A = this chain, B = another copy of it.
Amino acid sequence: MRPSERSADTLRPVRLTRHYTRHAEGSVLVEFGDTKVICTASVEENVPSFLKGKGQGWVTAEYGMLPRSTNSRMRREAASGKQSGRTQEIQRLIGRSLRAVVDLKKLGERQIVIDCDVIQADGGTRTASITGAFVALSDAIAGLIAAGKLTESPITDHIAAVSVGVFEGQAVLDLDYPEDSACETDMNVVMTGAGHFVEVQGTAEGVPFSRSELNALLDLAEKGIRELIALQQEALQS
């Protein structure tokens, strides 16, 4: 039995609240159960220096956690003077994932900066971030089209992410914190609407995992991501 009493292949309740804050071109509060992340998409009419004059745009991401989003207070990264290795891994993952479904040439010479800030953490902050960031990005792109700055959308597909893991010997979907901190294997999967993988990151926390465990986890992830993409579509139509 999972601590949350969910069945093995059930997501936590997921909510995507658009227009959550008012300044950003896209702003979404994403909730995977008690995990809550504010995802904003900011449009900037310039590109990083390595892309100047190359006729294409860029999508990048930054990630942070409020110091008391977690059970015990973490040190504020702005105060300690650097982002942790974990933070950098996550924000690189979010950026790569979103770029996988954006035609950067069609975006034109502009940059969209995604900020994912966790205000409450209960496991799965990176997968919630990717799932919510896609909706914020979509709103920002829609704004560019509405303003006549783009004639067609550079977005090529949906993208969403979920964690899966082996918890007490069983493959389960969408780990919450009690599962995440106790599981033997933890895998984050990022997948497109077409059902193709953009990222598969599996880590044995304790016992190494077999090929058949890997397959069971991927099956669960595919099911979960299909549901998340349906929720994204619903949110974007409302």
Residues of chain A at the chain B interface (Cβ within 8 Å): 21-24, 27, 34, 36, 38, 40, 42, 44, 62, 64, 66-71, 73, 76-79, 81-83, 85-89, 91-92, 96, 100, 113, 115, 117, 119-121, 187, 191-192, 194-204, 207-211, 214, 218
One complex includes copies of this chain to the number of 6
Residue contact B21 to A120, C-beta cutoff 8 Å? yes
List chain B residues, Cβ under 8 A from A187.
Answer: 200
Residue contact A119 to B21, C-beta cutoff 8 Å? yes
Of the listed residues A117, A121, A197, the one surrounded by the most CB atoms of chain B closer than 10 A to its CB is A197
Residue contact A21 to B82, C-beta cutoff 8 Å? no
Assuming A88-B85, A196-B210, is B203 touching A42 (CB within 8 A)? Answer: no
Residue contact A40 to B22, C-beta cutoff 8 Å? no
Residue contact B71 to A23, C-beta cutoff 8 Å? yes
List chain B residues, Cβ under 8 A from A195.
Answer: 210
List chain B residues, Cβ under 8 A from A191.
Answer: 208
List chain B residues, Cβ under 8 A from A196.
Answer: 204, 207-210
How far apart are A224's CB and chain B's nearest CB, in angstroms?
Answer: 15
List chain B residues, Cβ under 8 A from A73.
Answer: 24, 42, 44, 113, 115
Of the listed residues A36, A119, A121, the one surrounded by the most CB atoms of chain B closer than 10 A to its CB is A119
Q: Which residue of B lies closest to A24 (CB)?
A: B68
Residue contact B201 to A214, C-beta cutoff 8 Å? no
The 3 closest A-B CB pairs, nearest first, are: A196-B208, A85-B88, A77-B78
List chain B residues, Cβ under 8 A from A21.
Answer: 36, 66, 68-69, 119-120
9 further A-B pairs in the complex, CB-CB below 8 A; given A24-B68, A40-B67: A40-B66, A40-B68, A62-B67, A68-B115, A78-B82, A96-B203, A100-B208, A117-B119, A201-B201
Residue contact A208 to B202, C-beta cutoff 8 Å? no
